[in-house]
Structures are given as C-alpha cells and as structure tokens.
Structure 1
Amino acid sequence: MSDPSSGVRGAGDEAELAQFGYSQSMARHTGRFASFAVAFAFVSIATGIFTTYGAVLNSSGPVGIWTWPIAVVGQLAVAFVLGTIASRMPVTGYAYQWMSRLANPVLGWIIGWISFTFLAIVVVAVDYTIASTVLPVLLDYQGSGTVTWGVTAAVLLAQSVLLALSTKWSERVNNGAVSLELVGMVALTVLLLVVAAVRGDMNVGNLVSKGAVAAEGFWSFGGWTSAGPWMLGFLLGAFTIVGFESAANLAEETNDPERVVPRAMCQAVIASGVLGFVFLVAVTLAAGDPVALATSSTPIADVIKHTLGSAVSTLLLLMVVIAIFACGLVIMMTGVRLTWAMSRDERFPGWQQWNRISPRFHTPLRATVLFVVLAELILAAFSQSSDALFTLFGAATLLPAVIYAATVVLYLVKRKELPVNGKFDLGAWEKPILVVAVVWLVFELALFRDASFKDAWLYVIVMVVIGATYLGYLLARRGRRGLAMPDQHSIDAVLDEEAGTARP
C-alpha cells in the first residue's frame, strides 16, 4: 500500500528544490532503505577489505586491523558533519553544491572537479578488485594483466548499461545486493569463527602479530617522506569507509531528503564499521600463517576457501562479487549525477551534451556514456602497471580525504550561518564531533607523505592541472559573476532570514 502522505512530501520536496533555482528533473522514488543502500554499497566492506587486506598484511602485519575502529570513529565524525550540511542543502552535486553556495562558486568548482576525479578512478579500483582478487579464486584461473583488464572493462560496461536504461532498476539491483551483502557478511563471519574454532585452526596470536614486518620502528609516526608501518594500517579503514555521502548526491530523487539522507549516511558508517571489524577479526584468526598469506594476491579468498571448503566458499565469493558490482554501480551512479549537476550549471567541459535527461529512459544518459568512457580510459592507462591496484587504491583514498577536509573546514567557518531545520542537527555534540573530525583528517592526510603514494599524487596532479586549465577558460570567458550559482541571491536571503529569526 502506498504512503498517502507521499504526494504531499513530494510537493514539499519540489518546493524546497525550487528555492535553489532548480525544477524537478528526475522522479523522486528513493526511500529510506534505498538511500541507506546507496551509502552502504559505496562503502562496501566486502569491496574495501578484499581490496586492501593484503596491503595491510605487507605494510603493518595482522595487528594492523586494530587501526580500523579508530578510522571508523574518525569517519563517523566526518559523516555527522557532512550530514548536517546535506540536510540544509538537499541538492544533487553534494560537495560541489555545498562549497559553491557557502564559500564561492570558484572553490565549489574545484571541489566538484576533485570529486569527479575521485569517482572516476575509484570505480575502476573497485571493479578491478573483482577481476584481480576474487574471480581468479572463484573460477580457478591464473590472472594476467590482459585478462584482468578485459574483465574490468566488461564490468564497467555492464554497470553503465544498467544505469543508462533505468534508475529504478539500478536501485532495485543495489537494494538486493546490499541485503545480500548484509546477510552474507554476517553468515561468512559466523562460519569462519565457528569452523576455524571447531577445526582448531584459530590462531589468537595473529591478532597481535606483526607478520613479516620488522619490529624496529613499527609504532613510529615515520619521517618526512615515510609513514610508520602501523600507521599505514589506517589506510584500510580510510579506503573502505568512504563514499557514505553518495546518498546526498541522490537528494533530488529522495523523498524527505533533509531527514532521510543524513541518517542514511551515518547509519551506513556505523553498520559498515561494526560488521567490517568483526569480519576482519574472524579472517585474521583463521588466517593461519600470516607471513605466507601476505604473499598471496587473493588473501581473503584464500582464507575463505581453506576454512570453509570449495563449495561454501564458492557461494560466499559469489556474494562478494555481487556486492562489489553493486559498489561500482553506486559509484558510477554518483559520478554520473555529479557530472549532470555541474553540466546543469553550465560549468562542466562539454556541458551542452551532459545536462540532458533522456526523455525515453528518464536518466542522464549522455552523462553516463561520458563517465564510462573516461573510466575505460583510466583503466587502459593503468592496464600495464604491475602495481595497478595499489596505485588505484592510493588515489582513491587520497582524494576523498581532501574533499572531506575541505568540507569540514567549510562547516567550521560557516556553521553559525546555517539555520537549524529540526531534521538533523548536532546540537551539544557539535564541538566534540568537529574536534574528532579535524584531528582525524589531519592525521589521515599526513599518511600520504609516504613515498609509496607518489603515483597516486601524480594522478591527482594531472587531473588538477586539467581541471585548472578548464577553470581558467571559464573565468576568462565569463568572469567570476558568470559562475554564480542559480538563484544564489535567494539562497543567501533565505539563510539570512532564517538565521535572523532564530536569534532572540
């Protein structure tokens, strides 16, 4: 039975959107679970842990998993801050919109471009995981650079076709995949713990083992161009617990987004953090010899297969493939929406083509085509790299940290100008949450001084140069006034008016 108030909410949501200078272009059919599913699928503990567990074994040893709870607390604080802004500005384009309207359109464009470059590379990193760390074990074949490239390219194409043809079906696929991932990860964790305990394969010592990592300087912060071994373990959580803000990028398709979106973001971080840590503990206990496991390119899959046998592990690995596919699907959906939002404001290269909604499919069809083509080009650029996965993982961890830091700073500066809407406010917890978020982001960004991330920095620099060139073109052609956001003056007036009424 449909909710009789949905029509009233829809009318209110459209009126809210009109205050930002936009008309309703896409249907509002995203509910509470679908919004949570988008945020949870982007985080995707199955994807993040399968991708980076091997790197943590080599950089920090099994004891590196204890960095996870700290990273989750830090990212949860960030999610609270971003959720507060998302509740005030329920508009597609998320960080691009927030920075443009609360700071200025030039800074907003820069953050929008950085967000776009992050999404373009992280979708490749995620889909690359299917081809490089899961399918070789699932289908029992020896992966090669060519095969991995071909499988990743096919997965990217399949996701783009689904997104181009139907947003509703894309959400249905994602909802089903997230439900399966939640159930499957719980089942997988329980089975690993029970079977390993029954067979006597559980090694509690692994939880405090450094593996093959040297003990000298293990706990240090490192030098000017290097991070200490244990410190590098934080990248496990930093890479995995990101993308929760993707729910905000579907704000214009969500019912009651001021309330639904921020809660979905925080719930996704909490669910992912708790379930992910228990799974990490289970895998590490059942890992056997962590030194030998660190040499494998598919360590998580190897532990599952060794502990649970080929039949059960096949079913569970199929679940992982579906979860990773959904993660890539949501990332691409988020990137397409950002491309469309910036094109709608006439400030994305070739915006005349990408700002259209297909009258037949009711999706940003052309923006989808652009995004998948760019993703395939990035994949091709990394296809011959022997450490492609680490480079992709590094860039996909660095970029969101930059975005989060800029957004949190924006909130620090502008928070007193944001009116309380009664739907999602930090209240008395605002200051401690901000302290945790700032300390965490400063620490996280400091990790990227390590020389192993030079290729990731190179990607960032190249993409920033491309973006800066186009921004220079926009400023030369239109000037700063030409980059003003739609109905910018009315938004400022609304903020000032509501802030004024809130004062005694």
Structure 2
Amino acid sequence: MAHGPDDAKSTGSADEADLLRFGYQETMERRTSRFASFAVAFAFVSIATGIFTTYGSTLRSSGPVGIWTWPIVVVGQLAVALVFGTLAARIPVTGYVYQWTSRLAHPGLGWILGWLSFTFLAIAAVAVDYTVASTVLPALLGYGETAGNAWAVTAGMLFLQALLVAYSTKWSERVNNTAVIAELVGMGALVVLLLVVGAFRSDLSAGNLFSTGSVPAEDYFGFGGLTHTGPWVLGFLLGAFTIVGFESACNLAEETRDPETVVPRAMWKAVVASGVLGFLFLLAVTMAAGDPVAPASATPVADVIQRVLGSVAGNLLLSLVAVSIFACGLVIMMTGVRLIWAMSRDERFPGWRAWRKVDASTGTPRNATFFLLIVTEAILAVFANQTDALLNLSSAGTLLPAIIYTAVVVLYLVRRRRLPAGHGFSLGRFETPVAVVALVWLAFELSIFRDSSFAEPWIYVCVMTAGGALYLGWLLWRRGLHGLAMPDMHSIDAGFKAGPDNRDGGTA
C-alpha cells in the first residue's frame, strides 16, 4: 500500500509524541528510512571488515577448521539482537544502552554502560580503519605494510569520516547506503567467482575446511586451562569480532521514522544477512587458500582473491571491500557521536555543555563529532606503533561489546516482567528462551578472554572503566543521586498508555 504525505506526517507526529513521553523535545530530523536503518546495522557488522581483520589470526590460532565456529556465533548474536530489539521497541531513544539501563535499573549503572559503549565505539572506529589501512590497501595500492604507513592512512580515514558525520547526516547515510549495496554485491560476487574460477583452475580444496593447518591436532577441541584457551575455542573470536554493532541502528532512533518497528527488524535482519553471506565467503576463501600448513601472511584474504581472480578482477573487488570497510568506520563514528550527544543532553558526559549542541546549519552534533575525532586519533597514537596493534585493537573491540551485551541481557532477564508490552516488536512466548540462549552464549564468549594473550585489552577496559568511575563519583558528589535522575524517570509505562491501537501504524 502506498503512503502519502498525510501518512508520513501522522507517523512523524506519533514519533514526536513518543519522544516527549520520555522527557525530550524533538531535535533531530527524522529522515532515516527502513533501508537506511538496516544499512546502518549491516555496515557496522560489516563482514568484509571482520573477516579481513581476523581471518589471518584465526588461521594462526585455530587453523582453517576454526571457521566452523561462525554459525554458532551467528545464533548467539542473533539472540542478543532479538533481546535488544524488544528494548528498542520499548525505549526508542538515542543513547540505546545508556538509556535502557538508566531507566530500567539505575542511572549510575546506565552511565557506566554508556561510558563503556563510548570506549568501545572509539576503539572500534580505530580498529576498523586500521584494518583497511593494514590488510586491504597495501595489496590494492602496493605500499609497504609498515606501522607508519598504516598509522598515516588510518588517521586520514578517521578525519574524512568525521567531516562527513559533522557536516551532513544526509550524505553520510547516502555514502553508507551505497557502500552497503556495494558490500552485498561485492561479497556475493566474490563468493561466486572464487568458487567458479577456483573450481575451473582446480584451486579449491574441500579438505582445507577440516584441516587444523599448522595448529597441533592434540587437544585441539579442548576448552583450555585457567589462563589459556583451546585452539578451536579461539576460533569463535572470528565471528565474535565481526557480528557486533547491529545495535547501532538503535542509536539513530530519534532520526528514524517509526523506530519501534523499524529498528528491531533492522538489527536481526542485519545479523542474518551478515551471518549467511559471511559464512559462504569463509567457505570459498578457505577452500581457495592453498596449503593450509603454510604460514598465514598479513593479508591472507586479499592474497587469495588476487591469486585466484587475477590482479584486475581482484583489485576491483578489493576496491569494493575497501569502500565497505570505510562505511563501517563511518557508521561507528556516527553512532559514537550520537551516544556522546545523548549523554551530554542529560548533562552526564565530560564537557557536556559543548557536546550537546546540534548545529543549526547542518542539523548534526558537530562539536561532539570533532571531540570523538580527537579521541580516536589519540587511541591510534597509543596503539599504532605496536607490532600487534591490529590484534590488540580487535580484541578490545570484541571484549567491550561482550561485557555490554551481557549486562543488558542480564538486566532484561531480571526486569522483563516489569516492562510494558512493546507495540512495534515482541518475542512473545519465545522471550525467555531467546534471552537464555543469549546469556549462555555471552558467558561462553567472555570465558575466552581468560587467555593470558588478552591482557592488554583487559588493561584498556579496566583503565577506561576506572576513569569513568572517577567521573561518575564526581557527578554524584556534585549532584547527589537525585541529580542523575533521567527525564520522565518516574513512569516508563506512561509512554505506552496509548497502546498500539491508538497509534498510527500499529504493529507491523
């Protein structure tokens, strides 16, 4: 059925009324469509980014057979996305984790999780751009794979992404939408071409899919010990690093039309699409990888593509991958800026007076964008000279969301019976089983990080948490507990008294 201007106007009025019930005036323009919301979630997940970042380390730690952990991760993260969907349908406000936990548990806990989300987004932006600078562009442009080159290229990409986010949400979304289409087409083409050309040239080996490569087969499937993790278990980090960030769609809730319906569906569809396409790509790359025992290069995926498809076709497809990874960093930057702005709107973020402003000419939180740019450049300066910078960045970018997701799912299980019924998305009788699956998966994922090789990511988490705790303590000292109360905190249910039957659109 076609929708005319009156339908759009009534939907916009209903969205604005919902936001008022949570204590906020409409500030951002609601321009994000269904596809744009999906594109934001899909771009953050970005299978191109995740696989190009971690495939080499997976070969070294788990061998080719480690890719079979991917479907398990997809099921676990899909369960998390569904839980997040139920919360997004109930509290469709920018700030996602910060808003949800502040209103459902305590503003202090919400602040800590909001701060951890900020630290995750800041380091994830660096990790993503460092990926394209160190694993894709060297093969595409032919420059040396040195720490200095990766640093310079990453710094430039962060600056370009910040300019887009600061000056035009419209163009940021257009770039991202185009990049997502390119990623879907490009990754699909890569799968088909690698399989067809590889089979024609007899370059495919199904045996690779079940080889441990250079990893010893003894105790391969063991869980590990107190301070070390078994080889196959480490393979779960391939999917765990990649299938994250789907919740980015929640952080554009106040810019999305009918967010209670659109955002939850954008998240689970992004996980499913990424999971299926990503696994097909892993199968194709692994079968075409050649000798499974040979040491993995710094750019194994790019090497396979160029060897099998040749330089011309390989470079064309690598260019599409580079665009996809750039879009992933762009979406992370956009998501982080919205979180800073949301916390600053509530006078909670350090320097909030400057970051809560929305520029009248661009309609964007421009100050918050340049602040995040400075933070990401500082993180890059700390990590970039390390020989294992990409591993540490990706590990921290996997650990932080696992902690955040676990806290939110636990809170959901504890408080779900006190939540109002969602009118845009609901799990119905599957609510408890899905949440339990999510919690079991997250507990297992966190157990992987007991390995001593993840000491530096834990240090980063602890340092950032301690810094946040100090600022929270200062806020409590200055304002007291009452000073952290959320707008319209007294009644979440009041926002839903109208019910689905009294809203335009209803439950889709």
Q: What is the TM-score of this pair, normalised by structure 2?
A: 0.96
Q: Percent identity?
A: 65
Q: Determine which of 39, 44, 48 is the counterpart of 1:42.
A: 44
Deviations 1:217-263 (A, max 9, x none): 11000001111000000000100000000000000000000000000
Post-superposition Cα deviations, 1:7-35, rounded to whole Å, max 9, x if no partner, equal 11001000000000000111000010000
Which of 196, 199, 219 lines up with 1:197 in the alignment? 199
User: 1:229 corresponds to which residue?
Assistant: 231
2:426 paired with 1:425: yes
Q: Give the aligned partner of residue 314 of structure 2.
A: 313
Equivalent of residue 134 in structure 2, options 117, 126, 132? 132
Report the residue type matching 2:366 in the other structure: L
Q: Name the counterpart of 2:503.
A: none
Moved over 6 A (4+): 495-498
Partner of 1:377: 378
Amino acid of the residue matched to residue 486 of structure 1? Answer: P
Distance in 1, matches of 2:362 and 2:496, equals 36
**Correspondences of 1:73-472 after superposition (within 5 Å):** 73-292=75-294, 294-472=295-473
Contact 1:417/1:496 (<8 A) preserved: no
Q: Is the 8 A contact 1:258 1:423 kept in 2?
A: yes
1:31-62 CA-to-partner distances (Å, cap 9, x unmatched) read 10000000000000000000000010000000
What is the SS of the residue equivalent to 2:490? helix
Structural RMSD (CA): 1.3
CA distance in 1, matches of 2:39, 2:498: 35
Structure 2 Cα separation of the partners of residues 85 and 99 of structure 1: 10
How far 1:383 sits from its partner (Å)? 1.6
C-alpha contact 1:82 1:245 (8 A) present in aligned 2: yes
**CA separation in 1, counterparts of 2:41 and 2:28?**
19
Question: Which deviates the most, 399-408 or 486-495?
Answer: 486-495
Q: Distance in 2 between matches of 1:460 and 1:495?
A: 37
- Greater CA deviation, 70-79 or 409-418? 409-418
Contact conserved, 1:417 with 1:495, CA < 8 A, in 2?
no
Q: Is the 8 A contact 1:249 1:334 kept in 2?
A: yes
Cα deviations by residue, 1:171-217 (Å, 9 ceiling, x for unpaired): 01000000110011101100000000010011111000000001111
Q: Deviations over 1:393-415 (max 9, x none)?
A: 00000000001000101110111
CA deviation vs aligned residue, 1:324-345 (integer Å, no higher than 9, x gap): 0000000000000000000000
SS of the equivalent of 2:49 reads helix
Matched, 1:8 2:10: yes
* Contact preservation (8 Å) 2:396, 2:461: yes
Q: What is the CA–CA distance in structure 2 between the aligned matches of 1:216 and 1:496, rounded to whole Å?
A: 60
Q: How far apart are the structure 2 equivalents of 1:438 and 1:468?
A: 25
Which secondary structure does the structure 1 equivalent of 2:65 belong to?
A: helix
Q: CA deviation at 1:431?
A: 2.1
Q: Partner of 2:101: helix, strand, or coil?
A: helix
Alpha-carbon distance between aligned partners in 1 of 2:256 and 2:143, rounded to the nearest angstrom: 42
AA at the equivalent of 1:115: S
Deviates more, 1:421-430 or 1:264-273: 421-430
Please state whether the residue corresponding to 1:225 is helix, strand or coil: coil
Deviation at 1:2, TM superposition (A): 7.2
1:291, distance to aligned residue in structure 2 (A): 2.6
**Alignment partners' CA distance in 1, 2:3 and 2:328:** 29
Cα 1:441–1:468 change in 2 (3 A) is same
Query: C-alpha deviations, 1:137-188, integer Å up to 9, x for none?
Result: 0012222111110000000000000111100110010000001100111011
Larger deviation: 253-262 or 458-467?
A: 458-467
Deviation at 1:422, TM superposition (A): 3.3
User: Which digits, 9 at most, give the CA deviation of each residue in 1:37-88, with x for residues without a partner?
Assistant: 0000000000000000001000000000000000000000000001000010
Q: Which runs of 5+ in 1 are unaligned?
A: 499-504
Q: Tell me the CA shift for residue 495 of structure 1.
A: 6.6
Secondary structure of 1:291's aligned partner: coil
- 2:476 match: 475
- Distance in 2 (CA, whole Å) between partners of 1:328 and 1:290 is 31
1:260-289: CA deviation from partner (whole Å, max 9, x where unpaired): 000000000000000000000000000001
Q: Distance between the aligned counterparts of 1:196 and 1:356, measured in 2?
A: 54
Tell me: CA distance 1:495–1:415, structure 2 relative to 1, closer, same or farther (3 Å): farther
Residues 122-150 of structure 1 deviation map (CA, whole Å, 9 limit, x = unaligned): 00000000110001100122221111100
TM-score (norm: length of structure 1): 0.97
Change (3 A) 1:227 1:6: same
In the aligned structure 1, how far is the partner of 2:3 from the partner of 2:369? Answer: 31
Greater alpha carbon shift after TM alignment, 461-470 vs 29-38? 461-470
* Partner SS, residue 98 of structure 2: helix
Listed as ranges, the gaps of 5+ residues in structure 2 are 500-508
* Contact 2:64–2:292 (8 Å) recurs in 1: yes
Is the CA contact 2:45–2:246 (under 8 Å) kept in the aligned structure 1? yes
Indicate if the aligned counterparts of 1:110 and 1:467 stay in contact, CA closer than 8 A.
Answer: yes
